Structure 1
Amino acid sequence: MLLRRPQVAAAVIDRLRSLGIRMALDDFGTGFASIAYLQQLTIDRLKIDRSFLAPLESEPDMREVLVSIVGLAKAYHLEVCAEGIETPGQAQLARLAGCGRLQGWLFGRPQAASAFQAVALRA
């Protein structure tokens, strides 16, 4: 819908936000999740695609790219989530770049709903 009818999508997102639903732009930097959407849509959070996080420890230039993406998000007053964090080093570099939220296998692997419920009930 974003590609074919961006004005309609923006209206739907605004209506959902008026109901208290917060919106995130997922997989930023890949495919169709582009900078233009930051201008066109009222979103709350930018989720940086894992393809920018995976090479952080081995490619120092990617650290500058990550800092730039975080800076762009902050210019639009968005929270930033780094996806695909698999190592403590990636987590540290993402935090240093300004990512306020991290997600990935370092923090937990996918699991069946029943396993998640069992852990939640014990807490």
Structure 2
Amino acid sequence: MIDFKKYQFFFEYNVSHSNKFNKKFNEVSFELITGELSYLRGDFLLSLSQYSNINLSNISKKNRKIFELKKLYYNFLSSIHIQDEQNIAFFEEQLSKAPDSKDGKAKLVAKAQANKRYCVQ
């Protein structure tokens, strides 16, 4: 079993103790983790809300691709669980159009499609 509080504390600590160079990266990482934890706890609306508030413009393009994929993936999964057909279609399209990052996109799309087939009937 995952200790969510300990997991979240690790990222909070990382943000508070990061140097100026890594500060924005660590802040965005923490925001992504917060949304992921909401998803894992089953609070899908909160997860969608947290991901919609994340600003990726302050981090490098290399890292932005990775974060954008993760953000789209969890938005898509949360939309599936709340059965929001409009958001499902939107995030599915956005995920398919997103730039690839070290072949991570293909794996995320495959996992997302499997979740969709399982949850949406």
TM-score (norm 1): 0.33
More helix by share: 2
Which structure is larger by alpha-carbon Rg, 1 or 2?
Answer: 1
